[in-house]
A and B are shown apart, each in its own frame.
Chain A
Amino acid sequence: MTEEETTMKKLATILILTLALVAVPTLAILGATGALDLVGQTEETWDEKAVYQLLVDAENLSGMSRYNNQIIAVDGDLALPKEYRGVTITYSSRHPEIISNDGVVTLPDTCWIDSRNQQGQDTTQFDHLNDNWPVVLDVTLTFMGQVRTAKLMLVVAPAEGFTCDKYLG
């Protein structure tokens, strides 16, 4: 072994020892605290997450939101989805006389709001300004005991020949 080879060997040894000195405690710290263990979830928690994702998918992909912000002007069943890949979807209407908890629409026979001027005077200027009813449906999505909530905002026009004479102001 030449002198240069001997020197190189010594340097290599020092390098390995130095790296070991740095790396071993660092990895030990990270390993002990799980700082790098970002994917080591248990099967139980992973299942929980999968359920959560399924509930999110049910909200986004089931079609339950397709009437959001749409003006509904006909009576009848909206055919809101009740199930999506095993997820049960139920609805609770804040105006069940207009949209039932099953998603059946009965057009109201009155306007939503009778609008007048700020003096409370009934002028024709504001007729039909606020005829359409905003109806909120509270939605519950359930799968394997896990629950996700959502809301729908549907806007319903009154039936033909409706009245508008219940001023609250």
Chain B
Amino acid sequence: MKKLLLLLLISLGFSTLLPLIPVSASAGVRYTDEDYRRLSAVIEHVENVLYYGHAYNQDTDLLPDAINTLTGMPAVWTFPNRAEVPYSDLANQQNFFRTLVALSLVTGDPRYREEAEASLAEYMETYQNTNGLMYWGGHRMINLDTLLVQSTESENGPHELKNMLPYYELMLDVDPVATVRFMQQLWTAHFDWATADLNRHGSYSAPYNNNVFGQPMIPDIIVMDEFGMPIIPANSPGDLPFVNAATDLAYAAFTLADYTGDPAPREWAQYLMRQYHLASNPDTGMTVYQYKSTLITKSASECAIPSYTNSGCGDRVARQFRDFGPIARESNVQWKNTQAIYVDNILMLLEAADRYGVNEYVDWARGYLEGYLDYGYIRINGTNKIIPMFNDGTVTYGYVVPEVGYYGPSNMRLDYVEMPTTYLLPILRTILATEEPENQVKLWTYFREIAHTFGLGDVGPLGGNAPALDLDTAIDDPFALMAMVELYQATGNSEYLESARTIGNNIVHAKFRRGFFVESEIMLYSRLDQPETLALLILDGVLRGLAPADMPYYLADSGYIHGYLLSDDGVTEDRNYSQTIIYTKTIYD
């Protein structure tokens, strides 16, 4: 009798709970306990970040870039003078803001979005230079003890964004005046309107110019030789136009044009990205990291020293890889900065195409990826790799570097380039953005092979409507998860959703430790910019039937601090990256 009553109560409870669980009626997807466990892990992570992040200094709404998962304390940057500075750098927290907004959407609790808004509001009100640049990026941080700006690169570190692609939608909601001012000044500080020189470093002393995009448009600086090949000018006065800095400039200008209705920023963004396109190799399709080499301004005697890698000695690849002849230029290298060229940049191009209607970028992205994969993609011992080469297809695999230089030490042997799962997204999104099926075939074939090699199973023939996925996959990766979700949205095939759920469960199982998401079980710091929580919430939103356009979107995961610090030996000065120094520390260190 009692058992029967208990069963009745449980079943009644279940039946009354059902309507409370958001279910996508159109997708017919049932929200399960496992789905809730993933969401619960994200909520616990976010609550812990907010609790411990705010607990350190209650006079600010800013949060640290990373939290020590053993102590709850902020990550610290140890300067060469031994000063240990807990820091906040909003450029490195963009995925956390997207996570907060997504969490409010899936839970209906506005508190999370409000946390993001409060942090951004304080930052933009307090830490925007009068010239419009924010104190953030690679070389500036906010000291969470003093709430003062600090530089990690001498006293006046420059402004630097490289593929950080800020969450402008939210920034514009919070403080449109400050956001517009920043997007304008980003160009003033980094771009030379007369020569198209671009520097990843921008000065906080550059005066604000509200007519910044009113400059006269200049001719393309990339022209072709008599064979139809691009001539890469070697006249840049040390201002190397790295594509990872250009991606941020273009993204800001596209967003600005869309927000203000002024077409000029968009035209300049298109001009800028066109230089990279023109500099690409027309035979192979492979594109470039930069469209200029530097002018030689240093003396011959200085530049005769191989270890002196100052860009004033001219193109650093031309020096160190001189054996290869004229193709050896920094712009043509396809074994370094490949994530910036073929992942981050392409995701931005596709976003510009989708959101702002720059439709030719889809064809560009397809051409770059097809060329890169045609020439370079190789499977070695069951793993995805890239053959190192120049962008004309000249293979550099196995090359032993004679002398030290910017690209590494003497006797360094060039090996295969890693192909991480991040490549899944630009390839898939390019396919999905391509209209004609016959133009999708080649990339789909590569996508199928790459996904299979990553252990996702078979996505099947073109269209992805008949997959045979490994629903018990061991992969615990946010990019694979997002790829499966996007395939589900494109095809409606529930197998992708099941795969995404499996990957999501794996992520929680492998990376949710001590109340935080970490890179792996033993890693000490939980990084706010990590993409795992956003990926899990994107899946959760789909399960709840939320429109993809309403959810925050993954664009980049590139935030970092770069500068001078004290080495782990406690004695020597080092110049390094947060990714190398802070995010490699384990709980056993």
Contacts and interface: CB of A to CB of B under 8 A. Distances in A.
A61 interface: no
B15 A150 contact: no
A15 B7 contact: yes
Given A11-B4, A48-B466, A18 B15 contact: yes
Question: Number of contact residues on A: which range applies?
Answer: 35 or more
B458 interface: yes
Interface in A96-151: 113-120, 125-126, 129-130, 132, 134, 136, 147-151
Summarize B's interface: helix, strand, loop or mixed: mixed
A15 B4 contact: yes
A2 B466 CA distance: 58
B547 interface: no
A4 B449 CA distance: 65
A132 B211 CA distance: 57
B20 interface: no
B304 A119 contact: yes
A134 B460 contact: no
A18 B8 contact: yes
B402 A129 contact: yes
A11 B8 contact: yes
Contacts of B402: 115-118, 125-126, 129
Contacts of A60: 382
A68 interface: yes
Nearest to A68: B380
Nearest to B461: A48
Contacts of B7: 15
Interface in B361-403: 377-380, 382, 387, 393, 395, 397-400, 402-403
B18 interface: yes
Given A22-B15, A113-B399, A168-B324, A49 B468 contact: yes
Contacts of A129: 400, 402
Interface string B476-515: 0000000000000000001101100000000000000000
A118 B403 contact: yes
A120 to B, nearest CB: 6
Contact of B397 (A30, A34, A119, A153): A153
A29 B319 contact: no
B194 interface: no
A35 to B, nearest CB: 5
A155 interface: yes
Nearest to A37: B494
A127 to B, nearest CB: 10
B398 A132 contact: yes
A74 interface: no
Given A41-B468, A59-B379, A22 B14 contact: yes
B11 A19 contact: yes
A143 B11 CA distance: 54
Contacts of A15: 4, 7-8, 11
B377 A134 contact: no
B83 interface: no
Contacts of B306: 117-118
Given A15-B7, A29-B30, A38 B495 contact: yes
A60 B18 CA distance: 48
A130 B400 contact: yes
B497 to A, nearest CB: 8
Interface string B62-103: 000000000000000000000000000000000000000000
9 contacts: A18-B15, A33-B27, A33-B494, A52-B458, A118-B306, A130-B323, A130-B398, A150-B379, A151-B378
Interface of B: 1, 4-5, 7-8, 11-12, 14-15, 18, 25, 27-30, 304, 306, 319-320, 322-326, 328, 377-380, 382, 387, 393, 395, 397-400, 402-403, 405, 445, 448-449, 452, 458, 460-461, 466, 468, 471, 494-495, 497-498
Interface of A: 4, 7-8, 11-12, 14-15, 18-19, 21-22, 26, 29-30, 32-35, 37-38, 41-42, 45, 48-49, 52-53, 56, 59-60, 68-69, 94, 113-120, 125-126, 129-130, 132, 134, 136, 147-153, 155, 167-169
